[in-house]
Amino acid sequence: MRINDGRKILYILFMVSVLLITGCGGGEYEAEKLLWQANKSFAKLKENIETAAPKDYEEVILAFRKLVFKFPKWKYSPRAQLTIGQLYALQNNMSKAKGELTKVLKEFPQDANTCASALFAIGKIYEDENKWNKALENYKKMVSDYPETYAAYQVPLYIAQYYKSKNMNEKAEGAYKEAIEGYEKVIKEHPDTFASLTAQKFIIAALVEQKKWSKAAEYLQARANAYAGTPLAVESLCKIAVIYQEELPSVRQSETAYKKAVEEYGKIQEESRKYIEAQEELDQLQNIEAEKTLKGYAVLSLKYITAAAVSLRKWDDAIRYFRELADLSSGTPLAAQSLITSARIYHEQLDQPQKAIDIYKHLLENYKGIKVEAIEEKIASLREAKKE
């Protein structure tokens, strides 16, 4: 059974819900064992999701249902019930799916995040059935009943996106305006919180979707100023650089924003070094944890800068930062992907196949878990191209 386009978003939600219930810290041993068994059944289903038969789905559903029945008050049971509803939706049994998702609202009202996800899933089912008014009713209920959830913050923008996708331009414009006003209210009422950061993110997305590039750049600049010395500032400045390069355009302002992003990254590196040195007298474990956190700041910042360098076609910069990213995350999939991207730039943009070959050979010698055959094929192809 293949997953059609109308159900792809439900599939994504389904994947997220299962990932969110994979942790097993604390709680009854038997409940954790049942969750492990349910996840094992799910992993088997996931391997063959495109061709899975109804009995394959039922096996997973029964495993999660057993968990919910035996441990209705356990912290992961609401997510298990949500997964049951989404499994029925994936089978196109929308009536059953809505019934199971409604159980989340009735039986686990205390779990705001899961209830919001259930309402969205119900709304998406109605939307796929071309019942927009019913869908909208559920989306708005998310905002009114569970206003502090991340899913509820997404709703105003999602509604505007729907109208835009249907070429209902007047309604889309009104919805974007309403969404931005709502997000600005959140920022005003909850400054310097995760809610505020989330609202800022959605305002920028709304401006970009409306192609209001100047306003988006202004908003990003304000965010860069407010969060100087953090990855948020780097991200904001990199996005400004790309906007001025591709949309406004202004080479001078693009260059200025990009240089500031690099400067902000340099500050993060320097502050990280100073902080870690200042911790030398403290417990060694504290030093390790501090270094991990600060390195994460640097890695995140580098991701934004390398992406900006690629967008701006600054190939030498991109290679330098991808290599630095690989050093900071040495031995990880991120490091391997960074090196692969560097090799591709050498080959496709700078016409230096030998340097690409050298990077691929380094990957084969130093990284486990990479697709050896694919890398060897790339090396052979590059060597053949050099002969021609």
Q: Per residue of the chain (388 residues), what is the pLDDT tens digit?
A: 444 544 444 444 444 444 444 444 445 789 999 999 999 998 899 888 888 999 999 999 999 999 999 999 999 999 999 999 999 999 999 999 999 999 999 999 999 999 999 999 999 999 999 999 999 999 999 999 999 999 999 999 999 999 999 999 999 999 999 999 999 999 999 998 999 999 999 999 999 999 999 999 999 999 999 999 899 999 999 999 999 999 998 999 999 999 999 999 998 888 776 665 655 555 555 555 555 666 788 889 999 999 999 999 999 999 999 999 999 888 889 999 999 999 999 999 999 999 999 999 999 998 888 888 999 999 999 998 777 6
> What pLDDT does 14 receive?
46
Closest CA to 312 of 382, 231, 243: 243
- The phi, psi pair for 142, rounded to 5°, reads -60, -45
The answer to whether 129 touches 123, Cβ cutoff 8 Å, is no
> What pLDDT does 49 receive?
86
Q: Distance (Å, rounded) from C-alpha 90 to C-alpha 86? A: 6
The answer to whether 81 touches 103, Cβ cutoff 8 Å, is yes
Which amino acid, 107? Answer: E
Q: Distance (Å, rounded) from C-alpha 307 to C-alpha 258? A: 11
> What pLDDT does 146 receive?
95
Q: Distance (Å, rounded) from C-alpha 5 to C-alpha 11? A: 10
> What pLDDT does 384 receive?
85
> What pLDDT does 15 receive?
47
CATH topology of domain 1-146: 1.25.40
Q: Distance (Å, rounded) from C-alpha 212 to C-alpha 215? A: 6
> What pLDDT does 277 receive?
62
> What pLDDT does 331 receive?
83
> What pLDDT does 276 receive?
55
Name, in order, each residue with C-beta under 8 angstroms of 190's C-beta and a sequence gap of 6 or more. 196
Complete DSSP assignment for 119-155: HHHHHHHHHHTT-HHHHHHHHHHHHHH-TTSHHHHHH
> What pLDDT does 368 receive?
83
Domain ranges of the chain: 1-146, 147-210, 211-313, 314-388
Name, in order, each residue with C-beta under 8 angstroms of 307's C-beta and a sequence gap of 6 or more. 238
> What pLDDT does 301 receive?
93
> What pLDDT does 21 receive?
47
Which amino acid, 305? Answer: I
Q: What is the CA radius of gyration of the chain?
A: 24
- The phi, psi pair for 293, rounded to 5°, reads -65, -45
Separation in Å, CA 42 to CA 32, 35, 64, 77, 83: 15, 10, 9, 16, 10
Q: Distance (Å, rounded) from C-alpha 46 to C-alpha 184? A: 40
> What pLDDT does 173 receive?
97
Residue 275 structure tokens: 């902080």
> What pLDDT does 13 receive?
47
